[in-house]
Amino acid sequence: MSGTTLLINLAGAIALLLWGSHMISTALQRGFGTPLRHWMGRHLNNRWMALLSGIGITGILQSSTAVSLMATSFTAAGTLSLAPALAVMLGANIGSTLVVQLMSFNTALAIPLLIMVGFVIFKLRDNSSFESAGCAMIGLGLMLLALSLLSATLGHIESTPVFHAVMQGLEGDTLIALMVAVMLTLICHSSVAVILLIASLAATGVMTPATAMVLVLGANIGGALPPVLNAGSPVARRLPIGNLMVRVLGAVLAMALLPWLTQTAAKTALTTPQLVVWFHTAFSAVLALMFIWLTGPLARLLERMFVEKERVGDPGMPLYLDEAGLNVAYLGLSNSVRESLRAADMLAMMLDRLCVLFETLEQRTADEIRQVDQSLDLLSAAIRAYLADLGQDGLSDTDADRAQEILMFVINVEHAGDILSSSLTQLATRRARRGELFNPFEQNHIRLLHWEILTSLRLAISAFLGEDLYAAHQLVNRKEVIRQLEASASREHFKKLREDKNAWAESGDIFQRVLRDYRRVHHHIAAVAYPVIDRLGEDIRLQESV
């Protein structure tokens, strides 16, 4: 077999290995990532629970990178402190070794069974959970198939002079071997795939145990680099850099002890491929035992090193819509929710400034409302575009419903802001041009509507953020409260106009239009409740029918 053919076969086997790993990770994240994220957010109470959570979730998702992105989003949002997040990553590093352990067994018979059963489960029923489980099993079968192809190809490559020259170069310089493994893992974005490749190379018999262990150390360092490169803000860099620091320190210590480790390995009955697998597991386990007690001091050091910078510029520029979230659906949804809450804060600010405008009729206040509305429109457009990109790789049914809720929330907040800026602000400035203030009767009713709408906005945020069915029903019921307030204010106002023959008809018309527009604002706020009611109400009906 020619050298070109061998290289093509080798590249194809590695590509299939990476694709199988990608299928498993993305399928499980799409199908089960959201419940795992909720469980993780509720149960990370202490370092040991966090460590076990990291092991378990990484063992399920088969991707320590995905767990790193998940924990990073929690720490950046402030819902998870940095110390337990570091413990999660220590566990995630151990969890990634479980996959390697599984792949190290003789799995020739498992390959066709996994692909066949995965296909049957995928086609069994039209359900995202079944589809995700089926895709994951097919991906696992493809990884095992890739390993068998890789082993066969390496068997042919073993006898080539070029292969022996490359391996002799690695044997002569441990630093070169370490850097080769780091770069290869960074390119592949999968330490699992690189460790399996190293084990396959070791099976050819041309690699010493010392070189094999150095390559494993390089793969561990390289596996920590992608989350660091994807991190955007200083706060988001704390966790991945902390994980990288732990792995680098561990690798330096292992390199210093390499002669002793080589002698110890020689006394065992392990073959070189087995040594690769067990050394990878032992390295992560020892690091976890060493650093689990140091997560607190390390977290404080990272917080001093990476201080969150003050945000400047247009407040409508998104702060949390990072590209890393587009690769993991539930992270992207969490980022979108955080930006949606910023949009709701802008709407509340506009309401407060509008209340001041009705009392003072200052042009500066009107300009402030319009500026905030421009920022709100900019932020809303960014969230909508982000959600569109998020759905390109497919979403589970639950995540798709949540994305639709976020979209409807943002659209309704933006429309409410448009009414405040274009209609209500314009009505107030028309009064100002006439040199007339709103009288005490009008201001009193405007303030009543203002406080009721703020209450409804808080309920809308609670229903949206906490997926609170009770708050959603309360919000819908408050539409009648606003209707009665508007009707009462309108009747009393017409009564006063009839009694005061000198009242200006246009002034009365402006107040009536203010009442109508406040009700329109409340209509958009209350609309936030309906997607929550539709989804959660359906879930409750399904549970009751079981």
- Number of other residues whose CB lies within 10 A of the CB of residue 116: 13
Say if residue 392's pLDDT is above 60.
Answer: no
More confident residue, 64 or 541: 64
Is residue 225 within 8 Å of 194, Cβ to Cβ? no
Q: What does the mean pLDDT of the chain come to?
A: 79
pLDDT at residue 538 is higher than 60: no
Predicted confidence (pLDDT) per residue in 237-291, tens digit:
888 898 899 999 999 999 989 889 888 888 887 888 888 888 888 898 999 898 8
Residue 79 has pLDDT above 90, yes or no: no
> Are 380 and 514 within 8 A, CB to CB?
no
* Percentage of residues in the chain having pLDDT higher than 90: 6
pLDDT per position as a tens digit, 428-473 = 888 777 777 778 888 888 888 889 899 999 989 888 887 788 888 8
Q: Concatenate the DSSP letters of all residues of 394-452 into one string.
A: ---HHHHHHHHHHHHHHHHHHHHHHIIIIIIHHHHHHHHHTT-PPPHHHHHHHHHHHHH
DSSP code, position 202: H
Task: Read off the pLDDT of residues 411-432 as tens digits, 9 standing for 90 and up.
Answer: 999 999 999 888 888 888 887 7
| Helix/strand/coil for 315 | coil
Tens digits of per-residue pLDDT, 98-156? 767 766 666 667 778 888 888 888 877 666 677 778 887 888 788 778 767 776 776 66
Instruction: Supply the pLDDT for residue 523.
Output: 92
What contacts 24+ positions apart, CB below 8 Å, involve 293-302? 295/47, 295/83, 295/84, 295/86, 295/87, 295/90, 296/83, 298/83, 298/86, 298/242, 298/245, 298/246, 299/81, 299/82, 299/83, 299/86, 299/238, 299/242, 302/82, 302/238, 302/239, 302/241, 302/242
Question: Does residue 276 contact residue 194 with C-beta atoms inside 8 Å?
Answer: no
pLDDT by residue (tens digit) across 190-211? 677 778 778 877 777 777 888 8
Cα dihedral 201→204→206→209 (10° resolution): 60
Contact 175, 46 (CB under 8 A): no
Output the six-digit token pair for 110. Answer: 């498992």
Q: Residue 125 has which token pair?
A: 């029923």
Question: Under a CB-based contact definition with an 8 Å cutoff, are residues 33 and 46 in contact?
Answer: no
For the chain, list the domains and their CATH numbers: 3-305 (no CATH), 323-545 (1.20.58.220)
